[in-house]
Amino acid sequence: MPTHRTDLTRLARRAMLDRGLWPDFSSKVMAELSQIRTAAVDQAADVQDLRDLLWVSIDNDDSLDLDQLTVATEHPDHSVILQVAIADVDALVHKDSALDSHARHNTTSVYTSGDIFPMLPEPLSHDLTSLREHQDRLAVVTEVVVGANGKVIGAAHYRALVRNHAKLAYDSVAAWLAGTGPAPCDISDVPGLDAQLRLQDQVAQQLKARRHQQGALSLETIEPRALFDGETLIGITVDKKNRAKELIEDCMIAANQATAAFLKRQGIPSFRRILRSPERWQRIVDVAAAWGVLLPPRPDAQALDAFLVARRAADPLTFPDLSLAIVKLIGRGEYVLDDGTGGAPEHFGLAVKGYTHSTAPNRRYPDLVTQRLLKAALAGTPMPYRPDELKYLADYCTEKEDDAERVERQMRKSAAALLLQRRIGERFEAIVTGLSDKGTWVRLLDPPVEGKLSGGLAGLDVGDSLTVELVSTNVERGFIDFARIPS
């Protein structure tokens, strides 16, 4: 008998195919994979042996595709050397190979309610190119020197042999850092790991504070996740930000920015990840005005962040919904080519210039491209991509990332429709999250699901709150329809 998980996986495969994504690996890919027996541990002169450093990973409890490790060392002047080791995926996934062609076509792993469709086969991404616990692995290290004020005052890049001394999980580490939970076993069992993690948390907080002084936005979007009891869908929960997630996020932002700066100094064309200045700034001004806050007439990240920080403090329960509305109004991120000659493109939400994606090559193709460019620059070998190739790939990766996000969003809706199909006629509190020619979209506060609003649309805009009634659901198509209830 089909199960909820089986049904959702079937729908996800169909949705991927409809978007031109490949849910399966070809026989050619699998044949190539079968020839890869073990990670190539290169002992060349340019590979440093850093296995004795206290490297650790922090990720989701069930994550096996571990892309990065971190370690920090404090100097007497209170500056900190932060080292971020990124899995050397390129060592086994060569450009223009069958494995590379599949990764280049999809450009990203696709995470759906029923299943995960990895960019690279699991024997690679979960094992040979994963920075697994207690395994020796090749990595590309980005090293940044962070002053006591959170300013990056130096950076370096090199290849290394590393070893993950502890595979840690976000939630348990966050609870320990916040003093609301015990130290995870691995932290207690590995001498010096507790002090190491507190130092990493300290430098991450300094990096974050400096970015926010420069106008980084305090956004907190809702990330729904399906809950299963065996194969049966039983609910939808929300993954929330916490101290450990912020630790990794801030370390990765620093590493990504340092990598972009290095490639630019070398005059090497490469990808940049940008979020343009909001086109719907006036609507953001209107949303803030509804809370009695006057924003400037032109986009101002610092002023917007001050508004967001105040709203989160005043109403943390509904802040993610306000944050989501702001995210929708700002627009989506994209990849662009920086040819190395002009000014650095800016990421409005992070308040950083010259930002790339380089820290997740098991999961994102742009990161693998950046890794190849970085390795070639370090080795002094010819660049593996021409500028016109990079321009094409930047546009293509943006397009396919959008396709993948549409599949993931559709599958969240299918899971939500499956969960809500017995609640037709019930009323819910909601917030408007989107307006387009195709309709008006709302998200429920509880459970955190999104659907289309029919009727009573006059006067609504993104960020407005309202009461809705569930009218119908369609699991196959991922449709959830609501009607507005007059206030």
Q: Where are the domains of the chain?
A: 4-275+332-414, 421-487
Token representation of residue 229: 């009891």
Q: Does domain 421-487 have CATH number 2.40.50.140?
A: yes
Long-range contacts of 27-34 (CB under 8 A, 24+ apart): 28/98, 29/98, 29/99, 29/101, 29/102, 29/121, 30/121, 31/98, 32/97, 32/98, 32/99, 33/99, 33/121, 33/123, 33/124
| 223-235 average pLDDT score | 85
| 186-208 average pLDDT score | 93
d(CA 81, CA 154): 9
Strands 450-454 and 479-485: parallel
Average pLDDT, the chain: 88
Count other Cβ atoms within 10 Å, centred on residue 291. Answer: 13
Specify the pLDDT at position 1: 41
Question: Do the beta carbons of residue 276 and residue 331 sit within 8 Å?
Answer: yes
Question: Do the beta carbons of residue 466 and residue 430 sit within 8 Å?
Answer: yes
Residue 341 has pLDDT above 70, yes or no: no
Specify the pLDDT at position 90: 96
Q: How confident is the model at residue 43 (pLDDT cuts 50, 70, 90)?
A: low
Nearest to 333 by CA among 345, 320, 319, 321: 345
Question: Do the beta carbons of residue 313 and residue 319 sit within 8 Å?
Answer: no
Residue 316 has pLDDT above 80, yes or no: no
Specify the pLDDT at position 191: 92
H or E element at residue 378: helix 365-379
Q: Which residues contact 190 (CB under 8 A, 6 or more apart)?
A: 54, 165, 166
Of all residues in the chain, what percent carry a pLDDT higher than 70? 92
| 232-255 average pLDDT score | 89
Token representation of residue 235: 């609910």
Of all residues in the chain, what percent carry a pLDDT higher than 90? 56
Residue 346 has pLDDT above 70, yes or no: no
| 461-475 average pLDDT score | 88
d(CA 326, CA 304): 10
pTM: 0.88
| Residue keyed to tokens 């809702």 | 222
Q: Max alpha carbon distance in the chain (Å)? A: 72
Token representation of residue 433: 């999250």
Burial 386-421 (b: 16+ CB within 10 A, else e): eeeebbebbeebbebbebbeebbebbbbbbbbbbbe
Specify the pLDDT at position 36: 86
Residue 247 has pLDDT above 70, yes or no: yes
Summarised one tens digit per residue, pLDDT across range 69-125 is 999 999 988 899 999 999 999 999 999 999 999 999 999 999 998 899 999 999 999
Between the alpha carbon of residue 361 and those of residues 8, 72, 290, 324, the distances in Å are 27, 22, 42, 27
| 316-333 average pLDDT score | 77
Burial 39-53 (b: 16+ CB within 10 A, else e): beeeeeeebeebeeb
